[in-house]
């Protein structure tokens, strides 16, 4: 059992890697990048590639139901589909087996590649945090403490003239 630490918010993965371990293990309950929430995972890993964050999270605790998700979050860029307003350009790879594979293999998942779980390898460099399950009450406290719950608040490297007075990325015209 690890000691509880309250929710923390930062826009810089370098800050995350400085967080002290709790009882010798680094734990996370959730990560939000560009407004996407990742929570309830066994493991969390984030690499800052300079112009792109790469998030990898995975569940490997139930044999036959393992899955991983690696999501690339390039910095927001002008998008011609939205009259040049800044927009996301997220892509992902899913590795899965069993029911999770069946779920990801059906339907249309934009910018998503699905692969068998047997091809997944955890990231070799950087910090991997173990998942920390919280009670519903404690989880609600964490979510209430966060402010970056929409991608429009993700303004890393977005020019000032593309950000409105409230600090949000300006909507497409």
User: Residue 18: CB partners within 8 Å, gap ≥ 6?
Assistant: none
pTM of the model: 0.80
pLDDT range class, residue 4, cuts 50, 70, 90: very low
Chain segment 71-126, per-residue pLDDT in tens: 999 988 998 988 888 888 999 999 999 988 888 888 778 899 999 999 999 998 77
Residue 31 has what pLDDT?
82
> In sequence order, what are the beta bridge partners of 57?
44, 69
- Residue 1 has a pLDDT of 36
Q: Residue 32 pLDDT > 90, yes or no?
A: no
**Mean pLDDT of all residues in the chain?**
82
Task: Report the pLDDT value the prediction gives residue 24, as an integer from 0 to 100.
Answer: 58
Higher pLDDT, 66 or 155: 66
Scanning the structure block, which residue is given the tokens 């020019």? Answer: 159
Long-range pairs of 117-120 with CB within 8 A, sequence gap ≥ 24? 117/66, 117/67, 117/68, 119/95, 120/58, 120/66, 120/68, 120/95
The strands making up 91-96's β-sheet, listed across from edge to edge, are: 27-28, 128-131, 43-48, 52-59, 67-74, 91-96, 112-116
Range name among 4-18, 32-46, 59-73, 136-150 with the lowest pLDDT average: 4-18
Tens of pLDDT, residue by residue over 41-55, are: 999 998 888 888 899
Q: How far is CA 100 from CA 32, 48, 62, 168, in A?
A: 22, 27, 11, 35
Contact 134, 29 (CB under 8 A): yes
Distance CA 34, CA 149 (A): 8
pLDDT higher than 50, residue 159: yes
Half-sphere exposure of 31 (CA within 13 A, CB side): 29
Domain spans in the chain, listed from the N-terminal domain onward = 29-154
* Confidence band of 3 (pLDDT split at 50, 70, 90): very low
Cβ-contact 131, 29 below 8 angstroms: yes
Question: What is the 8-class DSSP label of residue 48?
Answer: E
């Amino acid at each position: 059992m690890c000691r509880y630490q309250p929710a923390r918010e930062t826009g810089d993965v370098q800050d995350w890697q400085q967080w002290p371990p709790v009882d010798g293990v680094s734990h996370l309950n959730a990560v939000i990048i560009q407004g996407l929430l990742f929570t309830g995972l066994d493991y969390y890993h984030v690499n800052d590639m300079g112009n792109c964050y790469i998030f990898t999270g995975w569940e490997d605790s139930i044999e036959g139901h393992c899955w991983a998700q690696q999501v690339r979050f390039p910095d927001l860029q002008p998008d011609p589909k939205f009259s040049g307003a800044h927009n996301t350009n997220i892509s992902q790879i899913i590795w899965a087996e069993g029911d999770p594979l069946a779920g990801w293999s059906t339907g249309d998942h934009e910018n998503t590649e699905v692969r068998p779980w047997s091809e997944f390898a955890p990231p070799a460099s950087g910090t991997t945090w173990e998942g920390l399950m919280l009670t519903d009450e404690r989880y609600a406290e964490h979510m209430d403490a966060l402010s970056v719950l929409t991608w429009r608040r993700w303004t890393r490297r977005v020019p000032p003239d593309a950000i409105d007075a409230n600090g949000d990325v300006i909507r497409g015209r």
